Structure 1
Amino acid sequence: MTTPDQFASVRYIVDDVQAAIDFYTTHLGFTLATSAAPAFADVIRGPLRLLLSGPISSGARTLTDGSQPVPGGWNRIHLIVDDLNAEIDRLRAAGLSFRSDVVAGPGGRQILLTDPAGNLVELFEPAQRRATRTPAS
């Protein structure tokens, strides 16, 4: 069992491991830990280890019931940002795609970004961070 001081790992099935590495390291602040592209890589940001499993990886093999893991489900990693509007502007300027518009609720605001395989990344600005910024920021 993973101990509290170890990384929390999430596996994403991706179509192109190198494109996924480039996306997460270039745009979202992850660092490359290991790469066995085109099969697999893992990238790290803080306590999160994101496993990027390509079509030839063991994580993408057909299951015994015949179902096939595919990218682009609704589960997602959740990254907290200080300024959601600035992040949206930065990522749009880089040509990245969003799956949703900004959604606001009592806890804060969020938007869903898609990686090259269609997996979701939720960018979330907590309400308390928004309230502590000055209007000019």
Structure 2
Amino acid sequence: MRITLANVFVDDQDKALAFYTDILGFVKANEIPLGEARWLTVVSPEAPDGPELVLEPDGHPAVGPFKNALREDGIPYTSFAVDDVHAEFERLRGLGVRFTQDPVEMPGVTTAVLDDTCGNLIQIASG
């Protein structure tokens, strides 16, 4: 068994695609029209055949309260691995990304939390 898809709920697929590709550095893998929305996925350029991240529209009534509760409590929706959290923090901050948590060193891991501009907090981590 292996992970092939994961998702992040976004309030605007166009804005999400721009942020996740132009800012975070992912690469668009699929874009298939599905009525008002699209099946829209991105992948890591380091693993183009690896797991895809679905930029999922957040229109379902259960999603809004869920996303709001996570944000209000400062809980990241998901986490992405980076080689160096401090370097990535500086790179992203230089691109105007807003962080809700600056890099924090913990035993075995360093993390930081950013706002993806689409309604989510996302953690970056390196070990």
- Which of 18, 23, 27 is 2:23 aligned to? 27
How big is the alpha-carbon RMSD for the aligned residues of Structure 1 and Structure 2?
A: 2.2
Give percent identity, aligned residues only: 30
Does 1 or 2 have the higher relative contact order (CA < 8 Å, sep 6+)? Answer: 2
- Which of 9, 12, 15 is 1:13 aligned to? 9
CA contact (8 A) 2:86 2:103 kept: no
In structure 1, C-alpha distance between the alignment counterparts of 2:10 and 2:87, rounded to whole Å: 27
Q: SS of the residue aligned with 2:100?
A: coil
Encode CA deviations 1:3-54: one digit per residue, 9 max, x unaligned: 43x62x2222211101111111112221112223862311112333111122
In structure 1, C-alpha distance between the alignment counterparts of 2:80 and 2:60, rounded to whole Å: 28
State how 1:20-59 maps to structure 2 within 5 Å: 20-35=16-31, 36=33, 39-40=37-38, 41-45=40-44, 46=47, 47-55=50-58
Report the CA distance between 1:118 and its aligned residue: 2.6
Report the CA distance between 1:106 and its aligned residue: 0.5
Scaled by the length of structure 1, the TM-score of the pair is 0.70
Q: Can you give the 5+ residue segments of structure 1 that lack an aligned partner in the other structure?
A: 63-67, 127-137
Relative distance call for 1:80 and 1:53 in structure 2 (3 A) is closer
State how 1:1-137 maps to structure 2 within 5 Å: 3-4=1-2, 7=4, 9-35=5-31, 36=33, 39-40=37-38, 41-45=40-44, 46=47, 47-55=50-58, 60-62=59-61, 68-70=62-64, 71=67, 73=70, 74-126=75-127
Which amino acid in structure 1 is aligned with residue 37 of structure 2? A
Report the CA distance between 1:75 and its aligned residue: 4.7
Q: Can you give the 5+ residue segments of structure 2 that lack an aligned partner in the other structure?
A: none
- Give the number of the structure whose residues are more often strand, by fraction: 2
Q: SS of the residue aligned with 1:101?
A: strand
